[in-house]
Every structure is written in structure tokens, then in C-alpha cells.
Structure 1
Amino acid sequence: MTTFRQRFVGATELPKTLTEFDVEQSFQLSKDDLDAIRKRFRTAGRLAAAIQLTVVRATGRPLDRLTNVPRALLRSLCSALGIQETSIASLKTLYSRQATLYEHQAWARQVSGFTEVDADVLASCAQTLGRLAGTASSVDELVKQAEIWLFDQGRMLPGDRVLRDLARQAYLAIDEAALHTIREQVGEPGVDKAIRAVFSMRRGRTGGTVLEWLKGSPGKHGPSGLSEVTDKINFLKDLGVDRWTLDAIPNARLRAYGQTVVHRPPSETKRLKHETQSVEVICFLRMILLELTDVALYIAARRVCDLVRRASTKVQGKQTRGLTHYREKQEQIRQVLHEEGPDAEEKLEALKQLVPKDDVEPRYSRAALVRQALVEDSTRVQALLNGLTGLDLQGRANVPSLKQIDVLRDLKARGVKELPQDFDLSITDPVWHDLLRDENRVKAHAALRACALMSVRKDLRGGRLWIEHSLDYRNREGLLIPPEQWKKERGQFVSALNLVMDPRKLLEVIRANLEAGLAGLAEALRTGKVEIDEQAQFRLPALLPLEGDDQVRRARDAMFNAIGECQFSDMIVEVDVHVGLTETLLGRKANSVQELLGCYGALLAHGTENDAKGVAAMVPGLEVAHVTSAMRALEAADRLRKANDRVVAFQKRFPIAEHWGKGDKASADMMSLDASKHLFNARIDPRRRTYAVGIYTHVLSTYGVIYDQPIVLNERQAGAAVEGVERYNATVEDGIRLSLLAVDTHGYTNVAMAVAKLLGFDLCPQLRNLSERRLFVPKRMDVPDSLAVATVDDISERAIIKGWDELLRLIASIRIGRVSPKFVLEKMGSAAQGDPLHKAADHLGKLLRSLYLCDFFSNEDFRREIHTLLNRGESVHQLQRAVFHGRVMPERGRRSDEMRAISGSHALLTNIVIAWNTMKMQEVVDRWKKAKTPVDDAWLRRMGPVHFGNINFRGTMSFGIDRHAATLLQKQQVERRRA
């Protein structure tokens, strides 16, 4: 069952606002149902029985005789049964006898296949909740998951009290298990020491408690920011947090415990009972250490880039001054040569003085000059290197960077400030050897520090170095399937992945397809569809626009004129009524109008440029405290993702969406949100030259945003691209998995293309640079003569065969969730060259890229499809910029949870607009067809639901909750408001 239809599971009554669309999706009678009703009941009892049957199938619970029945459901059932439409208000009108009600309920259970729960089923449900409690953020969320699990098992749902007791027990068991783990791994003395430490007062000008200090986020990525982070890490290591082994506590639960401390004032945490305080504080400290380590490494990497940039600027200045000197020298030579009076011998003597025989300057490359400048900047280099080496770096055997660090530590311990003459140059990169041989051994010592700094950064990025108390820089080997388990279960994993044990079979298929693709490309080259220029690079003709653009534009304008103007707040409420957004975000229906408004306000505060104070000023009756409290609640894991899934499923169900695609293709790209320069994770957007943070989104061919994640600007996005597809395919419930993802140049690498293919989908990049359009083929492969100049035969099939088993192990580890594609691909970039696994994936990816380019170059329809997918993603980005047109302020986005909430809320608001537009477009199309107005399907295929010119995103917002209170609020709250 899809998440969209799950919104009715567990309902004890149906909303009056139930629409015809809801009825069509969830309350329809089949032909067999109609035959069973007509056979079992007389005309007078058929409507009541039909109501019971449809409601049991949608909710898992029967309706009692006092429940109101929505008008849309009555109209649909009367039409299906062929009886006159009635206007009854509740089932009480249909059931004059209580026994008849019980008889109909029993019949509905029998026909629908639902059975009553028993002790064994409840025990199984309790076990399931025990597993789910590790990631659930509240008891209400567990109750909802219990309802869905029982519904999927075909069981009638018991009363709320029964399920709530099971949920509380599961939650309590998780707490007890966490407390047991902490007492076992940390010990009571360690727990008491940690609690005393975090509530102790700090000395100095700032004051406050240590807990408040640890909760503070770093500012800019400068030296002071790095120093602040490393001070916190050292404090936590002094407490022994890096030695705590809390693997028995699920990572999601560890984060949930830690977030409660982050979101709560220290005084309230201090008043908790000792057991609860122990669990939350210890998990908070562990979570903070993991996050701070990642932040420290991120800031250090930025600082390395800054140092290299500073050195490059210094070299550029020297080169500019050197050029001026040479021009002056050239002018002097010209004056001597063209001066009248002196004879040739005098001129020759003057030229010898201007250009001495022994004055020959050595020639260095720009990279060599930058390395020299880094050596001269020894103070900054040493400070940064000291910060990195104090983070407990670990690595593979014989990693040169660790050997360099050991040498530096030994020299420092002995108080030696010069590099020994007998230093082993083999542990360093050859490009540094000239600097390390310098006669000035103090300068050579500085060169070793600069070399070690660059080596550590490269090995961290390549996965050869790692830190155990980190999330993004852990040991890759420890995250993969253990070798013993892989050896034993390899056949099962490979079979489940639908791959082959012998890579030669796969290579034979790829080689055959590549030969056919090259032949087709040679034919396209012969017929002039593709050209190869003088630089042996492919050039493609521009895609011509499709005919009928004016007709499509006029039809689109007419459609949105018929839809009319709309307030953003009304759109949010209307989609919430249909989908149950706030129920997903809160884990239950809202208890009050204030809580509902707070949830809407939190969405706007996270997903737009407004902050909590600005949103409270826009929404009458809403206070800042309500918004900030709800904003913290939205940071809980997966809540925004589940809400987005519901909205996308809702939007895909409209018939008009079928014109835009089947839902098996998508595009992925990054959009940048302007941000304050005081955010440590902000970088300069190269296009707009402003500080910004990145939001990477996956957009379906039907326009819905199916996955979003915050990323860092100016870095390869291939890991984020593959991660989004794998996460979506792992959770999609309608059976339509993504088979193709269109990306731009930043969204691919050769390794990513190989990983994507082995995970079951094609990564299709639209390459911007002509130099990247070369075709790579296996060695000694026959290539058509016309393509020989544009091909490179350096693919080693032997390397693929040699690394195939490790590649399969990697893919299997991704598929079962042990490691994320983003983590893997970030560690398999250019810094991982020399790793056999990287080499195998890189060569396989080059083969797949050549196969893809053959189709992309020779098939115009395929090229247009990729172009269309990317254009749809860009149109969604335009809508996203209308939703969020300002910038991320410095007090937001410093924590990873905040950035995920900003990204998820922004995607959810965007999806709300897309879903609402789709719903209204469907209504207009239905009216046009009913009025016999011509509507061409070809026009609909080229109209998108991302129009926003008719939407008012700003100003005072009024949410019309009173009209939908029965749907959006808890039942008891609705009755209280009526009273």
C-alpha cells in the first residue's frame, strides 16, 4: 500500500470533506463486491453494507452507527449500486437495529478478508514495534506504524489503547536497552563524570555551561572556527567519548536522544531523572563528537584550499612582476640595438652586460611554484597540520602520509627543527623531492610539513586514512559486508542483485553492444547527423524546437486563467486535507489549532527565507514560541521525507500526470540558496559570485521532487545523484522503480556510472565539455576508421576482472544498507587512484559511458528526452526560487539537522505547489472535456504544473482551518470546538 493511501488507515471516522478523487482512489467497489452485496442483501440494506465494506478496506476499522458519512462517498456508492441518491447524515438513519449493524460489520470483515487480532498477532506486532522503535521519534508515530502493520497483515485494528500500550512498551524497551548499553560501555563513574562536566560552568568572558558551549555551532571556516571545533573535540576526548562503543544503539535513536538535549534548555535537562538524563546526555556527547569531527575535517579541507589559493595568488603576483622585469629588459635591449653611434663591438659588449652568460633562471611549472609558496607559508601550514594530526588518524598499512606524520612527530619530540640529510624520500610524492633536497634543511623541514598536509588531505578524500569517531570519514572496509560473510553468502547476494559472478559474461555483452553502437555512430557521422572537428571532438547539431509552441502556450494560459489566483496558505491547507501532511509531520493529528498553525509556520520558516519571527508576524494568532518548537520537531529523522512521499504519490495519481511520464525516469541537479558568509559550510557560487549553500534535488518526469539533500557547492555531485535514486528505489511502493537518471556534467563520474548500472539504473550525463566526449574502448578493439581519431583504447578488461569481486561486495553492501552510495563515491574520486577497486569501477564506467555516448550522439530522440528531463528539473528550480527567494541567515543552517530540515521543507512546499496545480489542471481538463472543448493530449504533455504566476507567496497568511477542522484535528478537539 502506498503512503498516500495509508492516510485512512486507523481512522475511526471519515472527514466530511472527502472528495471524489479520494473516493475513487480508496473507496471503490469492484464487480465482485457488487455481486456479493446484491446476492446477500435486499435493496434496503445494500447501501449500509457497501459503506461498511469500503470503510473496512480503507481503514481497517468498522464504522459505528453514529458516524457521519461523507456526501461524496454516498454519491459514489449509490451510483455503483444503482439506487437513488440519499442525503443521510449518519449511519444511525440506516441502522434502526443494533443487531443489523453487527451483522453488516461481520459480513464486511469476511468479504474483505480481514480477521480479528489474537494474542499471537499482537506478540508479532510487539516484536515489529521493537525493531521500529529504534528509528521512531515518538509513541504516536509507533502507534501509526502498528496500525499500518496490522492492516497489511489483513487484521482488524484493535482499540487505540491496545496499540498505544504496545508502542509505549517498545519505546520503554529501547530506552532500557540504551541505558544497559551505556552502563556497560561507559560505566556509572563515567556517566556521572560526563554529567558533572556538561553542567559545569565555563570560565572566561562568555561564561555559561559547558552544555551550552557544546551546543553552539561554528561560525566561518577560518582559523578561529577550526580552533573552536578542535577545542570541543579535545574536551570530549578528555572525557573519553571517543572510546565509547555505543554501536548497540541504532544511529537514528542515538541522534534522536541527542536532539532532545539540543532542543531543550539545559535547566530542563538537568531536572530529568538520573536514568533519562544518563541516556540523553551520553548520546548527545557521542553525537556531538561525530558531528564535530566531520565539521573539523570539512573546515580543515577548506583551509587547505584557502592556503593553496593564497599561494597561487602569490605566485601570480610574482609572475606578473617578473613579466614587467622582462619587458623592461626587452626595452633596454631594443634601445642598445637601435641606438645610433656605437659600433657593433660596443653594442655587443653592452648586450653581454644586460644578459650575463651565467644568469640562467631555472624553469618551474606553475604547480611547482605554488608548492614553493606553500613552503614559505610555513606558520599557517604547521598550525593546520597540527589540528589535523590531533584527530587520531588511522590508515591502511604503509600509507605514506602516516609515515610522514610519524617522522614529523619524532623530530618534534627530539626538538629537531631541520630535516635530516638521510631522510627517506621514498615516502613522499616525487614532485616534492627537489624541495626536500634543499640545502637549507630548515626549509626542507617546512617542505615536509607542506607535503604531509597535502598528503593527509588527499588520503582522507581517497579513504586511505580515516577517523573512527566520525560519520563521513570512517573506515570504508568496516562498513562493507565482512569478508567471511561475503565469502559464505556471495552467491545469494549476487543472485539478489541480478548480476553475474563471472565478469567476462558482462564484458562480452558490453563489447557486443559497444560494437553495434560504434557502427551506428559511424553511420550517423557519414550522414552528417554528427560531426568531428579538427580537434577530434564530437559536435552535435542544436535540437530544433517542436512545432505548435504557440498553441501550447495559449492553451496553458487559458488553463491557468481558469484556475485563477490563489493564496499559498490556502494551497497548503487544501493539500493537507487531501494528503494528511501534518499527521505525517507530527506523527498524529494536531491536538489544537495552535499546534496546526505552528506546524504550517515551521514549514514556512524552514522552507522559505523567513525566520520564526517573520512567520509569526505573517500569520495572525501565531506566536514565535509555537513556530520554533515546531521547527525543532521537523528536524526529526524522515518526517519531512515521508510527507514528501505522500504528496508526490498524490500528485502522480491524477490522469493528467500520465501525459508527463510513467514515473520511471528522473533528473537530478543542484540549486544554490544564497547564504550568509558566516556559515562555515557556505561557498561562493561561481555563477553569481555570492555565498551560497547547495540543495540537490531529484525531479521525476512527472515533476514531483522525490528526493532532496543539502550538499556543498563546487564539489562533484555524483554521490548525491546515485544516493537519491537508490533511496527512492528502495522505498517506492507503486512498483515503478527509476531506470534512468539524467544529470549534468557535475552529476557524474566514471565510477558513479559503474555503480549506478550495477544498482539497476542508467546514469545519463549531458556533458558540457567537448573534451569529455571522447570514446573509451577496450584495447585491441576494432573501431570504424571514421571514429578512430575520437577514440582512446586504454580500457583494461583485466583490471575489471581483477576488481570484480570487491566491486560486487561494494554493491551488495550498498543494497542492504550497510553503506550509502554518497559515502562510497566521495571516497572513490580522483584521490583514490591506485586502489584496485577504484580502477575496476573507473574502467567499467568508461566503457558504459562510451556505450551511452554512442546512443546520445546518434539518436536525436534519446538526446531530446535527456534534454527534456533536465529542462523539467530546471523549471522546478525556478519554482523553488519563487518559494525561497532570499538567503539562509547565519543563525540557521549551521547544524546538519537544520540544513536537512531546510532542504526537506523547501522540497515539501515545492511539491505542495506542484500537487495543487496538478489537481486544478485536472479539474479544468475535466470541465473542458465535459463541455466538448478541444483538448489535445500533445498539448497536455508539454504543459507543466510548475506555474506560479497566480500564487501569492507573501503578505499576511490566513489558514482557513475551521472549514477543515474535522479532517485536520483530533476528534475530541473538534467536538470541544463545536461545544
Structure 2
Amino acid sequence: MSSFAKRFIGVENLPAKMSEFDVQQAFCLSKDDVNAISERFRHDRRVAAAIQMVFLRASGRPMDRFASVPKTLLRSVCDALQTSAVSIATLRSLYERRQTLYEHQAWSRTYLGLQDFDDAKVKQLEQVLAVAALEAAHPDDLGESARMWLYDRRIIIPGPRRVADLARKAFEATEAAMAATIEVAIGKAALRKVIDWAYSLRPDSMVSHIEWLKTPPKRHAPSTVTETLAKIRALKELGAHLWALEPIALSKQKAYAVHVMMRRPSMTARIERQRQTVEVACFLRVTLMELTDMALLQASRRSQDLFRRAAERVQKGRLRSKDTALHQAVSAKKVLHDETKSWRDRVLEARALLDGISDASTCSFASQVRRALAEDSRRVHAHLAGLRDIDFAGAAGDRGHEQWKAWSQLHALNIKEVPPDFELPPVGVAWNAIVNDLDAQSRFRSFEASTMMALRKSLRRGSAWVNHSITFRARESLLIAESDWASTKEQHYQLLGLPMQAMEFLTPILAGMSVCLSALAEAAERGHLEIGADRLLHLPPILPLDEEIEPRKTREAVFKHIGRVQLPDLVMEVDAATHFSEALLARRPTSNNELLAVYGALFAHGTDMDAAGVGSMIPGIDAAHIATAMRAIEFSGRLRRANERVSEYQNTLPIAALWGDGTKGSADMMAMDASRHLWTARVDPRRRTYAAGMYTHVRDRWGLFYDQPIVLNERQAGVAVEGVEQHNRSADRIRVSLLAVDTHGVTNVAMALAKLLGFDLCPRLRDLRERKLLVPRGWPVPDSLDSVTLRRVSITSIERGWDELVRMVASIRAGKASAAHAIHRLGSAAIGDPLHRAADHLGRLLRTLFLCDYLAIPDYRREIHTLLNRGESVHQLQRAIHGGQVAQERGRRQQEMIAISGAHALLTNIVLAWNTKRMDGVVARLKDDGLEIKEDWLRRIGPAHFSHINFRGTFKFNVERYADVLIDRAAGKAIAKSGA
């Protein structure tokens, strides 16, 4: 069930006000319902029975007998039953006899097929919660899981206190088991020393070790790498890299680590002993893994910097060499043309001048860069020396890992040359010439440079790894275990809908490719595309649609009727419809201030303002409360669930169906300006400013269904596939079957994995005229296409790697690995790996199929461009919401950057949802007034409009207007009473 549809599950009563949309979505009576009620109850009892039944069906629990009934719900029920309108607004007034209330509830249970929550069901739920607690981040998350489990199995949901008690009991039992695991893994005495060390002050500093570890990395610089490695060294001295905490789920460790990150050390020191032990141990372990990831990412960028500097030096040297060579050649020419000298003297003098020209220009640019990198020995050696405290592991025979081990041995000898009796491991062919130099010192410098580049490549492809890391783990840890795969592979194949043999999957693809090639040849004959004498494709531009005045006039009229709006009013209206604030807190807010703090946290994360700036714009709320709420909504999954609620709400509005069927989408990155002091920032090649990447997936109905922060200038194919896979996992959503991306969002491997996961990756390719069609060797191709066809697809490679490829896809579907991580591991650094080869060759086939359709069918090409342009329109709205840059001190932690991306996407979805709702209402009113509005006009009008929204100024929230809907006053009073 989607997050939006969950908002009424487990509630005891309904808000005093309810929208018509909510009634239609969750409390509607069908014809069968009306007939059943009419047959069972007499005329004056039908309304009360119907209310009991629709509430029980929507919430999974009986309605409180003192609850009020919204007038919209009463009117809807009366209209469905064709009875006179009832104005009474509480159940107490509907039921003069309590026995009648119980009879109606009993009938509703029987009619809906609901079961009582008996002792057997309690035991089953306790078992389910015990499993769910292994990964739950908070007891509130377990409470939601419990309500969903009961609702899905048609079991009456008990009161919130009983559900909370069951969730808390399961959570505490798991916490006790974690404490026992940690005590065994570390040892009692060592654990006591670890906790004492965490709270102790660092030498020559007034900062505790916990505070020091919590300090995020600064800007990209060698000093930042040094500090990160110092923290890793300190944690390894504690033995954190040896703690056997694998029985505890990583998500669980992260959840406990976040608690320590959010609190001051003095607050952590005052909590209960068992919980404190678990939190501190998990914090230290997770911090070690995250710091290792940071160090390796920073080291990778540092090696890139050194390589780039070497290339710049070579380029400058080549330019100087060219100038010198030209000058000497001109001088030699003058000498040869000097008739005053004999020919012998001229030749000798000219030869002397030409002998001064270096032979370096005959070497390739890449070989000169490698030599220049080896000459930069001081920086290269310092870079490798800094990594010596990281425990690298690798596959047998991996070149990078073998070179690292050899370098470590040389470094331990504290020498600067290769001893004559020391045998160096094999290096790449490109490095052989300089590594095998006769000079021992030159050999050492060249070997260091080769080791640095080879180790980086091995880490990227996964043939070398670090056990105390999250991102750079061993490949086997990302896959279903071999023993499990051998025994369950048939079930995984069935779940994925894939055949056991590769040829069964490839046969329809190859048959389709023959048809597509013939269709493309016919399109070329008809002049829809041209294959020039230069052996390149020449595609005519897509003709624009006929410009119509009516869609533009309709758009202006619609938004004129909508009028201007303040951002606080917009946010509260969407919250009242979707309850995204409940998703952010994992419960309903209990007071006005708590609700305002949540809104303030959303603005502080999702805009270019900070907590202090937002606090000054919201009267009555303090910046400290906003900062606390900012940390609360960083909990894993909360912003994602809130986004799902708003996106699904926007998707269900009637007008959204005119924009698409929900099965297509687009994905692209937006560069968000950032400080140059943010270590993950990169230079945006377009605007030449430092920026962080925000990658968003936009549905054809305009809503954002996934977001993720990424690093600029890196391939985006992994996150493109990851977003659709995460969205499609929910069974009740409309599955996305086509995703349009640009060139950066696609690789052959990504196209293959996307197809095996059940959707098509469709790129708008750059340099399309230079693209070739790839077919299997010996495959027949129409003569007209022969010049743009390459026979470079190996069916044998796909067959050989088919089982491992499906194993990778099954691991992604099972949640063992993310699609982004898998595609990153199968990038260009993995060339030569059988798994990479299988995925790459399958992707070549799929790309050829796509190119044939893209080139031969103009309407298909137009659809891809339309989807991508829709995403670009959303980017304009996103820039209006976040007009500045990410502050210098923010975004250094991965969790904080995820929160920035999620909050920004949520604000974007809120604006899109509000505009869609208002557009739907205005269009309906205009049609009722007799104004002709064609559906074709509405299809060309989108909700990514923002000129009528005031994003700045004083934020005044009319909380009392929506208090009955958004705030749980009863829970707030109970908390205040217990505190008193």
C-alpha cells in the first residue's frame, strides 16, 4: 500500500473537517455496500451503520463512540443511501442506545471479514515485530509496521497504547540482544575502556573524542584526508575494525549511531546504561566505516588531481616544445637557403640546429603523462603513505592489490629504490616501459605511480576492497551468497520473470532487432533519416507542434483564477490532505509549536535558509526547536515516506490523468550551488561554479517519485536505475516501465540491468550522428545500414555470464545491494570481468533496438524529448525554491545531504500537488460556467508554475484552521500530564 493510502490506518477518530477528495478516496460506499446496508438495517439506522462500516474499512479499527463525524462524510453517506441529509455531527448523538452501536460494529466486522485480535494473533504479531525490530530505527516505525501487518491481514487494530507497548517491547528485546552481541564481540573490560575513551578529552584539546569524531570533513585538501585518516587510526587502535557486529543489521547500527550524532555527549552519558553501550558502540563502528568511505573517496579524488596536474604539465611542455621546434626549424630553413655558404656548411649547421629538437613529441600524450606522474614522487609517495592504515583486501591475482602489498613491503624497508633482489609484481602494459627502467630510483617512483592508479581502479571495480567500509565492500557481500543462490535460484528466476537459459530471453530480442533494422532501412528510403557518405547518421530535427493560442490562453485563465498564494498557506493545505508532517515525525504533532518546528525544519533543509533564518521568519518559534526538528526528520526513510504521500496524492487527482498514464518518467540532475569548501562539491561545467548534484525522477504526471544527492561529473546511470527500482517495489503503485534520461544517465550495463529489472532505459544521446548500430557477429543487416553497423555483440559472452548477471539483479531486488552501487562496480574499470562483459553485450543489443525505434519513429522520439523537457520545467521550479547555495557548514555528512535533497524534493512536490489540485478545481468550475476547455489544451498545461507563489517574507501559519486535522491534542495532553 502506498504511503498516501496509509494515512487513516489505525486512527481512532476523524478530523472535524474532511475534504471531498479524502471521502472519495477512502470512505466511499459502493453499490454492493449500499445494498448490504439496505437489506440489513431499517431506514433510520442505515446512516450510522454506513459510517461505522466505512470507518472500519479505512482505519482497521472501530470508531471511538465520542468521535465527531465530518459533514462531508455525512453528506456523502446520505447521498449514497439516498436518504435525507443528517446534520448531527457526533456518534454519541447518532446512537441513543450503546447496544445499537455495538451491533453496528459487529455487523461491520462480519461484512468486512475482519478478525479479532486474539492471543494467537498477538503471538504472531510479536514474532513479526521481533523480525522487523532487527532493522527498525525507532519504536514508532515498529508501531506503523504493526498497524500495517494487522490491516493487511484483516485483523482489528487495537488501541494506540497497546500497539505502542507491543512495539516498545519488541524494540527493547532487540536492543537487549544487541547489547549482548556487542559485549561478546568487544568484551566487558574492553567495552568499558571504549566508552571511557569516547567521553575522554583528546590530548592538548578541550574536545572529547566523540565530538572530534562527529566533526564532519572540511574542504577538499590533503589536510582533510590527513585528519580523516587520523580518526580512522584512532578507531582502529580501539579495535573497532575487528568487532564482529555482523549479526546486527547495518541499518540498525546506523539508526543508533544517529542518536549519538544528534545529542550532546553529556546527554548521551546520562541515558540508561544498556542503551548507552549500544549507541556508543554502534556510533564508533559506523563512524569507522563512514570515515573509511570518505577517506577512499577523498583519496580517489586526490589521485585524479595528481594525474590532472601531470597532464597539465605535459601539455604545457608540449606547447613549449612545439614553439622551440618551430623556431629551430625556421632557423634551419634560413641556413639551408643561405647562398653565401657552401652546401656542406649549410647542411652541417642545419643538422646541428635540428639535433636540438627533442624526440619526446614522438611519444604518446598518455605515456608522457605517466612519466610526469612518476616524477611527482613526493606527492605520490605522501598520498600512498597516508593510506597505509587502511586494511585493503583483494581477489587473488588482482593487479592493484598485488602492487599495494609490494609497495607496503618496500615502504616498511624505508627505502627510496627497488632492491636488485626484490621482484615487483606485474604492472599494466602501459606502465611496463617506465617501471622496468634500469635506474633503481626511477623504478621505485614509477612503481609508486602505477600502484596509486592501479589501486584506485581495483577499488572502483570491486576486485580490491576494505572490510571496514560500506561503499567499498567485497563484491560477494553485495550478492546473494553462493550457497543460498544454488538452492534458491529457481525461485529468484521466477520472481524476476526471467528464463533459466539466456537464449530464451534473447530470442525475442533478436527477432525484434531484425524487424527494427528492416523498419529503419525503410525509414531511410522514405527520407526520414539519411546515412551520409561520411558513414554518419543525419537525422532531421523534430518539427514543432503547431502553435495554438488556446492552450496558452487557457493556462493564463486557469492561473489567474487560482490567484496568488503565500507559501505557508500552500504547505498547510497540502499537509491537511496528505499528513506529510505525520510521516516526518512518525506520529501526529502534539502541539502548534511542534508542527511549526517541523515546517521550519523542512524550510531549513529544503531552501537556502538555515535554522536561524527560518526562525526569524516564523513568529513564535525558536531556532533551537527548528534545529531539533531538522535532526528528527533526518531519520532514515521519513522524508522518503513524506514525499511518497504527496506524490501519490498529486498522482490521484483527476486532471493528472490527462498528462500521462503514470507508467513513464524522466530523470535528470540539477546542479545546486555549493561552497567550494564542501568536500563533495565539484565545478559545474556549464556555469563554472562549485555545486552539488540533486538527481530527481519526475513522473509523466509531474510528481517527483525519487530523489538522491550525487557528486557532479560522475555517471548518473546507477541512480537513474535505482530510483525506478525503489519506486516499483511497492505492489500497489503504477509501475514505471519507461525512463527517459540524457547521455549521462545511461550505459550499456545500466540498460541491461534496467531491462532485467522490468523497465526500459531510453536516452537522448549526444553526438547521435556518430552512433553505430551494434549487432551480433554474422548478423544479416540491410545494405543501406551496413555503413553504420558494427558487428561487436557476443551472444556467447551473454550466455556465459547469464547466471551471474541474474544473481546480481536478484540481489538488487532482494535489497542486498543498490542498483547504483552495482552499476558503479560494473563501470569502465571492470572491463575484462565476465559479469561486466555479459551485461555490456546485452546492453549493446538493447541500445540497438532503442536506436532503431528512436530513429525510425518521430512520435516516439518526440515522447522522449517531452518527458525530458518536463523534467527541465521542474528544475526551474526547484531553483525558485532553492535560489542560493548550500551553506559552507552544511552537507558535509551524507545523512544531512540526503535530508537536503529529500526536503527540497518534498517542497517541490508540495507546490506541484497544490497547483494540480487548484487547476483541477478551477477547470471544473470553468466548465460548469459553460467555458469550452478541451482535454488537448489541458495536456499542454503543467503544474510547474511558481510566479504566483511568494517564497519569501514573514511566514504566518494559520494553524488553528487545520488544527483538528493535523494536531493530536489528546496525545499532547497525555504527554503533558505524564510529565507533570
TM-score range normalised by the length of the shorter chain: over 0.9
| Contact 2:176–2:274 (8 Å) recurs in 1 | no
What's the counterpart of residue 317 of structure 1? 316
Asked whether 1:941 is paired with 2:939, we answer yes
State the Cα distance separating 1:328 from its structure 2 match.
Answer: 2.0
Matches within 5 A, 1:538-577: 538-577=537-576
What's the counterpart of residue 747 of structure 1? 745
| Aligned-partner SS, 2:13 | coil
1:633-691 CA-partner distances (Å, limit 9, x unpaired): 11100001111111111111111111111111111111111111111111111111111
What's the counterpart of residue 837 of structure 1? 835
What's the counterpart of residue 384 of structure 1? 383
What's the counterpart of residue 804 of structure 2? 806
Distance 1:286 1:771, change over 3 A: farther
| Aligned-partner SS, 1:69 | coil
What's the counterpart of residue 27 of structure 1? 27
1:78-116 CA-partner distances (Å, limit 9, x unpaired): 111212223223223322222222222222222222232
What's the counterpart of residue 351 of structure 1? 350
What's the counterpart of residue 463 of structure 1? 462
* Aligned-residue identity in percent: 47
What's the counterpart of residue 442 of structure 2? 443
| Contact 2:129–2:170 (8 Å) recurs in 1 | yes
Equivalent residue letter for 2:665: A
What's the counterpart of residue 822 of structure 1? 820
State the Cα distance separating 1:317 from its structure 2 match.
Answer: 1.5
2: distance between equivalents of 1:346 and 1:217?
71
Equivalent residue letter for 1:682: A
1:161-195 CA-partner distances (Å, limit 9, x unpaired): 22121111011111111111101211112211211
What's the counterpart of residue 870 of structure 1? 868
State the Cα distance separating 1:537 from its structure 2 match.
Answer: 2.0
What's the counterpart of residue 13 of structure 1? 13
What's the counterpart of residue 88 of structure 2? 88
What's the counterpart of residue 686 of structure 1? 685
State the Cα distance separating 1:486 from its structure 2 match.
Answer: 1.6
Q: Which stretch has the larger CA shift, 117-126 or 468-477?
A: 117-126
Q: Which stretch has the larger CA shift, 448-457 or 148-157?
A: 148-157
Matches within 5 A, 1:509-908: 509-734=508-733, 736-770=734-768, 773-908=771-906
| Contact 1:141–1:588 (8 Å) recurs in 2 | no
Matches within 5 A, 1:39-188: 39-188=39-188
State the Cα distance separating 1:732 from its structure 2 match.
Answer: 4.7
Q: Which stretch has the larger CA shift, 661-670 or 284-293?
A: 661-670
Distance 1:203 1:961, change over 3 A: same
| Contact 2:388–2:408 (8 Å) recurs in 1 | no
1:420-440 CA-partner distances (Å, limit 9, x unpaired): 457657610111122123232
1:322-358 CA-partner distances (Å, limit 9, x unpaired): 1221232233234334556445454334323322499
Q: Which stretch has the larger CA shift, 57-66 or 289-298?
A: 57-66
1:884-907 CA-partner distances (Å, limit 9, x unpaired): 111111211011110110011111
Distance 1:313 1:139, change over 3 A: same
State the Cα distance separating 1:41 from its structure 2 match.
Answer: 2.1
1:62-89 CA-partner distances (Å, limit 9, x unpaired): 3344322111111111111212223223
Matches within 5 A, 1:328-339: 328-339=327-338
Asked whether 1:483 is paired with 2:469, we answer no
| Aligned-partner SS, 1:514 | helix
Give the TM-score of the pair, scaled to structure 1: 0.97
What's the counterpart of residue 215 of structure 2? 216
| Contact 1:719–1:824 (8 Å) recurs in 2 | yes
| Contact 1:425–1:433 (8 Å) recurs in 2 | no
1: distance between equivalents of 2:570 and 2:512?
49
Equivalent residue letter for 2:305: D
What's the counterpart of residue 234 of structure 1? 233
2: distance between equivalents of 1:772 and 1:669?
23
Equivalent residue letter for 1:355: L
| Aligned-partner SS, 1:428 | coil
1:265-311 CA-partner distances (Å, limit 9, x unpaired): 01111222321211000000011011000000000011011101111
Which aligned runs of 4 or more in structure 1 are off by greater than 6 angstroms? 973-977
What's the counterpart of residue 259 of structure 1? 258
Equivalent residue letter for 1:467: V
Which ranges of structure 2 fall in alignment gaps of 5 or more residues?
Answer: none
Equivalent residue letter for 2:884: G
| Aligned-partner SS, 1:678 | coil
Q: Which stretch has the larger CA shift, 868-877 or 770-779?
A: 770-779
2: distance between equivalents of 1:425 and 1:858?
55
Equivalent residue letter for 1:185: A
Asked whether 1:368 is paired with 2:367, we answer yes
Equivalent residue letter for 1:637: S
Distance 1:455 1:389, change over 3 A: farther
Distance 1:955 1:534, change over 3 A: farther
Q: Which stretch has the larger CA shift, 426-435 or 556-565?
A: 426-435
2: distance between equivalents of 1:515 and 1:186?
63
Equivalent residue letter for 1:619: I
Q: Which stretch has the larger CA shift, 873-882 or 136-145?
A: 136-145
2: distance between equivalents of 1:26 and 1:818?
35
2: distance between equivalents of 1:426 and 1:467?
21
What's the counterpart of residue 505 of structure 2? 506
Equivalent residue letter for 1:330: A
Equivalent residue letter for 1:791: T
2: distance between equivalents of 1:421 and 1:363?
31
2: distance between equivalents of 1:426 and 1:291?
31
Equivalent residue letter for 1:784: P
| Contact 1:592–1:973 (8 Å) recurs in 2 | no
Distance 1:613 1:353, change over 3 A: same
State the Cα distance separating 1:16 from its structure 2 match.
Answer: 2.0
| Aligned-partner SS, 1:680 | coil
2: distance between equivalents of 1:425 and 1:519?
55
1: distance between equivalents of 2:67 and 2:510?
66
1: distance between equivalents of 2:762 and 2:754?
10
Aligned residues: 977
Distance 1:622 1:755, change over 3 A: same
1: distance between equivalents of 2:54 and 2:640?
29
| Aligned-partner SS, 1:168 | helix
| Contact 2:797–2:834 (8 Å) recurs in 1 | yes
| Aligned-partner SS, 1:296 | helix
2: distance between equivalents of 1:298 and 1:876?
31
What's the counterpart of residue 270 of structure 2? 271
Distance 1:134 1:570, change over 3 A: farther
Distance 1:772 1:480, change over 3 A: farther
1: distance between equivalents of 2:881 and 2:737?
30
Equivalent residue letter for 1:850: T
Q: Which stretch has the larger CA shift, 787-796 or 149-158?
A: 149-158
2: distance between equivalents of 1:758 and 1:557?
44
2: distance between equivalents of 1:488 and 1:722?
28
2: distance between equivalents of 1:359 and 1:228?
44
Q: CA RMSD in A?
A: 1.9
Give the TM-score of the pair, scaled to structure 2: 0.97
Q: Which of these residues, 888, 895, 909, is aligned with residue 907 of structure 2?
A: 909
Equivalent residue letter for 2:411: K
| Aligned-partner SS, 2:841 | helix
Distance 1:74 1:356, change over 3 A: closer
Distance 1:345 1:301, change over 3 A: same
State the Cα distance separating 1:144 from its structure 2 match.
Answer: 2.9
Equivalent residue letter for 1:142: L
| Aligned-partner SS, 1:887 | coil
| Contact 1:8–1:59 (8 Å) recurs in 2 | yes
2: distance between equivalents of 1:812 and 1:159?
39
Equivalent residue letter for 2:832: G
What's the counterpart of residue 306 of structure 1? 305
| Aligned-partner SS, 1:279 | helix
